């Protein structure tokens, strides 16, 4: 781990449920997925590597919510975040905040991006002037750009992508790399791949897949309302799915009617994963691998990497 200092906000801040520096951290975290029939040992990621964090604010208050309340704990440094984010926090926390909302801070390849969502439609001149002094490459307020010095960039291996305001990213580069390498390893024999819920393309480029999502680098398609049909799936022998917490139930309904030989399912919600797993198993797919990944260090959340093969 990066250090052994206990976080001063443990048991207060709503961001983490467990003390990630404690000797029994692994045991406590594993208790969250005791109903998941894992096939391999968990993959543990180190803390202090989060490249994004969603803060909250109300008039003149900035920080994280206190656990179980809407009270805000002032935060000017978090041991679970990258140093670049911690370095900018004192400046951001002192901005003249108005209204209430959230502030997503993301460390991109070329600097810090700050995306503010607020109940107040417009920022004040005072806020604009103060924000201009923040050492960030882009600051937005409800999608309105306050400041931009360059286009924020993220990378998937050697592929550079422009980062849209508040777009989804895995919480750490290490986590994204770990998942991408696992997907790459288990798609190396596939001839034609569909990457569903592809986001910005963490798996798309490295597997030379066709990407599908509401937003992203591939074909724009709402996979909750319009999942790929069995006819569309005919050309693929492998499907990658990395859906939001709601899972991929509607897409699984068409997959069990298809001839897709392998499904690689990356889930951030064990509950919807188990629901979708049951549907796939009953529909002719055998679960051949389930690996839990401590992607969200300190929290109760897990990432699940699973492989389903056509029986």
Q: How many residues does the chain have?
A: 311
pLDDT at 1 over 50: no
Segment 160-183 shows an average pLDDT of 96
DSSP state, residue 194: E
- Spatial CB neighbours of 285, under 8 Å, sequence gap ≥ 6: 255, 256, 263, 308, 309, 310, 311
- Whole-number Cα distances in Å, 104 to 56, 63, 79, 246: 9, 11, 17, 21
CA atoms within 13 A on the CB side of 115: 15
Read off the pLDDT of residues 23-49 as tens digits, 9 standing for 90 and up: 999 999 999 999 999 999 999 999 999
User: In the numeric block, which tokens belong to residue 199?
Assistant: 């986001």
pLDDT of residue 10: 86
Rounded Cα distance, 59 and 148, in Å: 25
Strands laid side by side in the 238-241 sheet = 43-44, 285-294, 303-310, 262-267, 238-241, 193-196, 210-213, 219-220
Q: Are 291 and 270 in contact (CB under 8 A)?
A: no
Q: Which of 40, 94, 39, 86 is nearest to 62 (CA)?
A: 94
Segment 118-147 shows an average pLDDT of 95
Q: Are 135 and 88 in contact (CB under 8 A)?
A: yes
- Spatial CB neighbours of 124, under 8 Å, sequence gap ≥ 6: 96, 98
Q: Which residues pair with 213 in a beta bridge?
A: 220
Rounded Cα distance, 244 and 268, in Å: 7
Burial of 201 (0-12, 13-18, 19+ CB in 10 A): buried
Segment 198-219 shows an average pLDDT of 91
Rounded Cα distance, 264 and 180, in Å: 11
- Whole-number Cα distances in Å, 181 to 1, 8, 156, 249, 253: 22, 34, 11, 25, 28
Read off the pLDDT of residues 43-78 as tens digits, 9 standing for 90 and up: 999 999 999 999 999 988 999 999 889 899 998 899
Count, in order, helices (H) and strands (E) of the chain: 7, 17
User: In the numeric block, which tokens belong to residue 149?
Assistant: 């010095």
Structural domains in the chain?
A: 1-49+172-311 (3.40.50.150), 52-154 (2.40.50.1070)
pLDDT of residue 304: 98
Rounded Cα distance, 289 and 268, in Å: 16
Where does the pLDDT of residue 2 fall: very low under 50, low under 70, confident under 90, or very high at 90 and above? very low
Rounded Cα distance, 229 and 262, in Å: 16
Q: Are 241 and 197 in contact (CB under 8 A)?
A: yes
pLDDT of residue 42: 98
User: In the numeric block, which tokens belong to residue 101?
Assistant: 């909302």
pLDDT of residue 133: 97
Read off the pLDDT of residues 213-241 as tens digits, 9 standing for 90 and up: 987 678 899 999 999 999 999 999 999 99
pLDDT at 4 over 80: no
């Amino acid at each position: 781990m990066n250090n052994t200092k206990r976080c001063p906000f443990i048991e207060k801040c709503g961001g983490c449920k467990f003390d990630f520096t404690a000797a029994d951290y692994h045991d406590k975290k594993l208790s969250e997925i005791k109903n998941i029939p894992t096939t391999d040992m968990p993959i543990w990621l180190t803390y202090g590597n989060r490249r994004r964090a969603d803060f909250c604010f109300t008039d003149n208050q900035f920080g994280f919510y206190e656990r179980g309340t809407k009270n805000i704990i002032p935060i000017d440094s978090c041991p679970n975040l990258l140093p670049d984010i911690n370095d900018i926090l004192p400046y951001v926390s002192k901005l003249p905040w108005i209204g209430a909302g959230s502030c997503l801070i993301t460390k991109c390849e070329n600097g810090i991006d700050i995306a503010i969502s607020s109940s107040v439609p417009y920022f004040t001149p005072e806020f604009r002037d103060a924000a201009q002094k923040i050492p960030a490459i882009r600051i937005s307020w409800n999608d309105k750009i306050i400041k931009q010095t360059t286009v924020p960039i993220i990378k998937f291996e050697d592929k550079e992508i422009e980062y849209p305001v508040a777009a989804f990213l895995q919480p750490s580069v290490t986590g994204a790399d770990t998942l991408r390498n696992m997907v790459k390893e288990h798609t190396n024999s596939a001839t034609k791949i569909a990457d569903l819920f592809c986001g910005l393309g963490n798996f798309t480029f490295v597997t030379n897949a066709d990407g599908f999502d509401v937003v992203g680098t591939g074909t724009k398609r709402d996979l909750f309302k319009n999942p790929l049909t069995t006819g569309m799936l005919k050309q693929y022998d492998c499907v990658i799915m990395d859906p939001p917490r709601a899972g991929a139930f509607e897409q699984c309904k068409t997959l069990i009617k298809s001839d897709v030989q392998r499904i690689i399912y990356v889930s951030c919600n064990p509950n919807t994963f188990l629901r979708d797993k049951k549907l796939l198993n009953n529909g002719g797919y055998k679960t051949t691998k389930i690996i839990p990944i401590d992607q969200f260090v300190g929290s109760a959340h897990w990432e699940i990497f699973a492989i389903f093969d056509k029986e």
